[in-house]
Amino acid sequence: MTDFLCKVEGLQVTFPHRNGDFVAVHGFDMHVKRGEIVGLIGESGAGKSTIGNAIMDLLSHPGKVTGGRVLLDGDDIVQKTDKEMAYLRGRRIGMIFQDPMTSLNPLMTVGDQLSETISVLQNVTMQQARVMAVERLSGVGIPEASDRMNQYPHEFSGGMRQRVVIALAMAGDPDLLIADEPTTALDVSVQKQVLDLIRSICVERFLGVILVTHDMGVIAQTTDRVYVMRHGKLIETGASAQVIEAPSNQYTQDLIAAIPRIDLREERFRNPPKKTGEIDKWLLENKPSAQTGDFLTATALEMDFATRKTTFWGKGSGFRALEVPDISIARGEVLGLVGESGSGKSTLGRILTGLMQPTHGTVSFTDHGPLTQVKSAAARKALRRDVQVVFQDPYSSLNSRMRVDQILAEPIRFHGLAERGQINHLVGALLERVGLPADAGRKFPHQFSGGQRQRICIARALSVRPRFLLCDEPTSALDVSIQADMLALLMELRRSLGLTMLFVSHDLAVVRQVSDRVAVMKKGVIIECRESEALFDAPENDYTRMLLETAPRARVCS
């Protein structure tokens, strides 16, 4: 027996490819002791999940371990046969995946999945396994466990499902638990509970835990030691507090500096360097003459979603998704809209931009009148030119069959905003304005990274010279360092072009950096709406306070 429960030495993972092999992990070393949570952090593509999968021998095809050793209690498990590895999985090493919505079999009850696993791993009968399953479910904090045994995964909330997943991963009482982004798909308040649960299991059962994440806040909150990865290589390691407070490596320093702070509105997001100015004159041609007053107001908004009709003649019962008595956005203002999933923040954003019809209530634009009166084709076209959207997922919001210059030129041509001969020049200037090379237009969207694509989406929104921009979680799909660039770009554009913005996000720290005023939503109702700084410094509502307290922070004090 060695001191280390699990020790990784010089691990190399290769994905063979016809254009040469891609080495996802180069000579990686790490170790985990019992009773310790070790963090593995890096941005997308850093190879952090690959290490977890390599230890489990669950690398996706065609990846394989091409060097190094993985020692479990001194025993090299890389050399083991498939059969021996299958025996170790669940019994010695457990694993939790990122998305609790997809890691459970949708067609089996939670109880059946858990008792099946227990009966296989513990060698007991199904009856005994069912009794144990109830205990295990209550053990991970699921109330009324014996009733919930007969429910299907879709009847559980995200946080509860992740608890079930943890119970399943722990069914064979493993010594090592690999948690691959276990809270990324969860709301902040739930995230804290799940991390606390992992922490307490680790302590109670004297378990070694490898926590793979991209979120420095999670590392700070949960782990004892951390390994920072980049491009498949180990960059820095040490005690979590030490690495976060005083990172020695430049990359780690940049990574930590890029995290928006929930406790402070930072200057760097407000005054980034301005890149080009020539296109701004064109973009400002649609600037409204009035600079004060409301850009839009909405009153008595209600939105009901009908649940599906169950009979041919029946009427589905309604579900009140939104109830907002009044909300307005001033010209040139950035209104932040925060809330957990299902709070109705995206629905409100869509209603305010006319993408969705409210059941009751009116949305009225100062420049265009009430939305219900905008009926003629010309009036609609004018409204849509003024109101643009940047969506969450830059992968699915660009047409992959169109070249980037076609994507940008189409709205300009549709709205007749420039002479035919000018369009190419404008597209190039727009791309440069959002920080891409002018010749990027000749490529297709798939040739760009996530951050670059989001820049293309912003350029597309700008191409019609809008006055109002709805940003619906524009940075949620991006890495922190890219998120920082994106926020800086948006803020700079807003200042130069006098854009009015509605910024929807679940991330309180991000919202603080960009918003003048913030509205907090819960279950379809705005529970607090005030000046951003005042709200973050002294929240009045208990729910707001709870959200602020549970949000993971990289730096505990500053």
Binding site for another protein (CB under 8 A): 56, 58, 86-91, 94-95, 97, 99, 102-109, 116-117, 120-121, 152, 154-155, 165, 168-169, 171-172, 307-308, 310-312, 314
Give 250: exposed, middle or buried? Use CB within 10 Å, 0-12, 13-18, 19+: exposed
Nearest approach, Cβ of 172 to another protein (angstroms)? 6
Residue closer to another protein (CB basis): 172 or 394: 172
Nearest approach, Cβ of 133 to another protein (angstroms)? 13
Residue closer to another protein (CB basis): 89 or 381: 89
Residue closer to another protein (CB basis): 104 or 352: 104
Nearest approach, Cβ of 96 to another protein (angstroms)? 8
Rounded CA-CA distance 268/393 in Å is: 25
**Structural contact between residues 468 and 386, judged by C-beta atoms closer than 8 angstroms:** yes
Residue closer to another protein (CB basis): 307 or 372: 307
* Inter-CA distances, 539 with 260, 264, 507, 518, Å: 19, 14, 16, 11
Nearest approach, Cβ of 90 to another protein (angstroms)? 2
Rounded CA-CA distance 484/257 in Å is: 9
Nearest approach, Cβ of 16 to another protein (angstroms)? 15
State the amino acid at position 249 in one-letter form. Answer: N
Residue closer to another protein (CB basis): 56 or 398: 56
Rounded CA-CA distance 368/386 in Å is: 10
Torsion of CA 427, 429, 434, 435, to 10 degrees: 120
Nearest approach, Cβ of 40 to another protein (angstroms)? 17
Nearest approach, Cβ of 313 to another protein (angstroms)? 8
Nearest approach, Cβ of 32 to another protein (angstroms)? 17
Residue closer to another protein (CB basis): 120 or 527: 120
Residue closer to another protein (CB basis): 91 or 380: 91
Nearest approach, Cβ of 308 to another protein (angstroms)? 6
Nearest approach, Cβ of 125 to another protein (angstroms)? 15
Strand 75-76 to strand 525-531: parallel, antiparallel, or no bridges (unpaired)? unpaired
Residue closer to another protein (CB basis): 83 or 375: 83
Give SS3 for 486: helix
Residue closer to another protein (CB basis): 343 or 463: 343
Residue closer to another protein (CB basis): 166 or 338: 166
Residue closer to another protein (CB basis): 194 or 519: 194
Residue closer to another protein (CB basis): 117 or 452: 117
CA-closest candidate to residue 432, choices 468, 466, 395, 458: 458
Rounded CA-CA distance 162/141 in Å is: 11
CA-closest candidate to residue 181, choices 225, 140, 233, 222: 222
Rounded CA-CA distance 171/137 in Å is: 10
Nearest approach, Cβ of 386 to another protein (angstroms)? 34
Q: For the chain, count helices (H), then strands (E).
A: 21, 20
DSSP state of 184: T
Nearest approach, Cβ of 89 to another protein (angstroms)? 4
Phi/psi for 173 (5° steps) reads: 50, 60
Torsion of CA 540, 546, 552, 555, to 10 degrees: 40
110 dihedral zone (left: phi>0; alpha: psi -120 to 50; beta): alpha
Residue closer to another protein (CB basis): 58 or 534: 58
Rounded CA-CA distance 390/459 in Å is: 10
* Angle formed by the axes of helices 158-169 and 188-204, nearest 10°: 20
- For the residues of 75-105, what is the DSSP string, one character each? EESTTS-HHHHHHHBTTTEEEE-S-TTTSS-
Nearest approach, Cβ of 236 to another protein (angstroms)? 29
Give SS3 for 217: helix
Residue closer to another protein (CB basis): 98 or 515: 98
Q: What is the 3-state secondary structure (H, E, C) of 32-75?
A: ECCCCEEEEECCCCCCHHHHHHHHHCCCCCCCEEEEEEEEECCE
Torsion of CA 132, 135, 141, 142, to 10 degrees: 80
* Inter-CA distances, 537 with 534, 540, 548, Å: 5, 10, 10
Rounded CA-CA distance 93/107 in Å is: 26
Nearest approach, Cβ of 181 to another protein (angstroms)? 12
